[in-house]
Amino acid sequence: MKYEVDERGFYGEFGGAFIPELLHHNCEELSQALKQYADTKAFKDEFNLLLKDYVGRPSPLYFAPNLSKKYKTNILLKREDLNHTGAHKINNAIGQALLAKRMGKTKIIAETGAGQHGVATATVCALMGLECIVFMGEIDIARQAPNVARMKMLGAEVVPATSGSKTLKDATNEAIRYWINHPETFYIIGSVVGPHPYPAMVTKFQAIISEEIKTQMKEKYGKENPDYVIACVGGGSNAAGAFYHFLEEENVKLITVEAAGLGVESGETAATTIKGTEGIIHGSRTLLMQDKDGQIVEPYSISAGLDYPGVGPLHAHLFKTRRAKFLNATDDEALKAAFMLTKEEGIIPALESSHALAALEKIDFKPQDIVILNLSGRGDKDLETYMKVSEKYS
Ligand SMILES: *Cc1c(COP(=O)(O)O)cnc(C)c1O
């Protein structure tokens, strides 16, 4: 099990829990609860029932005929965009909220970038009667207005993060700061980042994606393994979920797509594995963009969900061991891909997922290949951005 987390929370040399003394108890308590509850039948039954009846799982594995023709191969979209609240984030939010309830917690905090994790968390808090505070960068509050409105309607308090680049990293800083001062709260992290046990826990809850892919592959093609699985990477949770059950299947090619922003050499980018070095961010040892003094270099992407200066420790490990191939797509390439999918298949993708779609241009597929692309979310939240550029791309 080369790609499984170890007892101390490491994937190879990446991971761990590099946190202030004041947070040790919280992380320890969470690790215990995860061990105690997450694998019990009662927990799994409750989780799976909500995924089925509330989220609408299994999400379809859709054979995209026009896309397949265009790229001369077999392309299937894993439709996480069809989940309740519009992205994969809800899978993890439900898992963590169920854990929080078992731990007797009544107050939830979360960080959000594009607002999808904030909406997912506010949604489960409404469902389960939990108090909810969401930290969000000031810039993201402006560029993802529909999601801010949804969170408020769902009863969450949205707190602006005003430091740094006023985006996802800064929202995460604020959430961690609040958590240190209010240790009675439960922090629902939205990606495979943060101190142990978060990366492994979020991977566990998102692994439903690849579990379903295996079953759906078997039904359609009589075998469980595709040739490719492609996913975009911000922190890396949709990719971790789509990859998980294929990690040890070395003949399945795993492709991750990072946000290149204005270009990897432009200084305005979020392509962490190219521009990053090893260091510690938000409690784990991983790859991140930093200057020679260890100061974080502000990331940039048109997509708020990918605008993060690090990747989770699992992805740092997949990069280092070359188990996954890391590509990237610029704002321009992602926008092109968004309009392309809309025209070809009648599906408006999230800007984040459009980065994964842009990778279809960059890989030489064989006609018999089976290519699965994780369509992490839908584009409703990005309509304003799409409208602004529609003349150029449609
Ligand atoms: C949050 C988000 C992402 C990026 O987060 P990961 O943890 O890397 O998956 C990608 N796509 C959508 C639609 C999102 O909402």
**Nearest Cα residue to 165 out of 355, 312, 307, 310:** 307
C-beta of 350 in contact with ligand 1 (< 6 A):
yes
Q: What count of residues does the chain have?
A: 394
Question: Is residue 89 flagged as an active site residue?
Answer: yes
Per-residue tokens: 159: 């707190």
Rounded Cα distance, 367 and 151, in Å: 44
Q: Please list the ranges in the chain whose pLDDT falls under 70.
A: none
Rounded Cα distance, 289 and 70, in Å: 36
**Nearest Cα residue to 38 out of 197, 171, 265:** 197
C-beta of 85 in contact with ligand 1 (< 6 A):
no
**Nearest Cα residue to 140 out of 271, 299, 348:** 299
Residue 101: alpha-carbon gap to chain centroid: 23
Among candidate residues 31, 284, 301, 376, the one labeled active-site is 376
CB 254 within 8 Å of CB 90: no
Residue 46: alpha-carbon gap to chain centroid: 23
For the stretch 344-354, what's the b/e string if a residue is b when 16 or more beta carbons lie within 10 angstroms of its beta carbon?
Answer: bbebbbbbbbb
Compute and round to an integer the Cα radius of gyration of the chain: 19
C-beta of 112 in contact with ligand 1 (< 6 A):
no
- Domains in the chain and their CATH numbers? 19-51+89-197 (3.40.50.1100), 56-86+206-392 (3.40.50.1100)
Best of 80, 85, 232, 328 for a ligand 1 pocket test (most atoms within 8 Å of beta carbon): 232
Best of 78, 85, 88, 205 for a ligand 1 pocket test (most atoms within 8 Å of beta carbon): 88
Ligand 1 centroid to Cα of residue 149, in Å, is 19
Q: Which residues 6+ apart lie within 8 Å of 391 measured at CB? A: none
Helix/strand/coil for 372: strand
Residue 143's pLDDT is what? Answer: 82
Residue 1's pLDDT is what? Answer: 76
Strand partners, 135: 111, 159
Among candidate residues 80, 111, 174, 345, the one labeled active-site is 111
C-beta of 232 in contact with ligand 1 (< 6 A):
yes
Best of 121, 306, 357 for a ligand 1 pocket test (most atoms within 8 Å of beta carbon): 306
CB 320 within 8 Å of CB 311: no
Strand partners, 278: 287
CB 261 within 8 Å of CB 302: yes
C-beta of 144 in contact with ligand 1 (< 6 A):
no
Q: Is the pTM of the predicted complex or chain greater than 0.85?
A: yes
Rounded Cα distance, 112 and 135, in Å: 6
Which atom of ligand 1 lies closest to the CA of 81?
13
Rounded Cα distance, 154 and 159, in Å: 15
CB 135 within 8 Å of CB 178: yes
Within a 13 Å sphere around the CA of 132, how many CA atoms are in the beta-carbon half? 30
Question: Is residue 191 flagged as an active site residue?
Answer: no
Question: Is residue 111 flagged as an active site residue?
Answer: yes
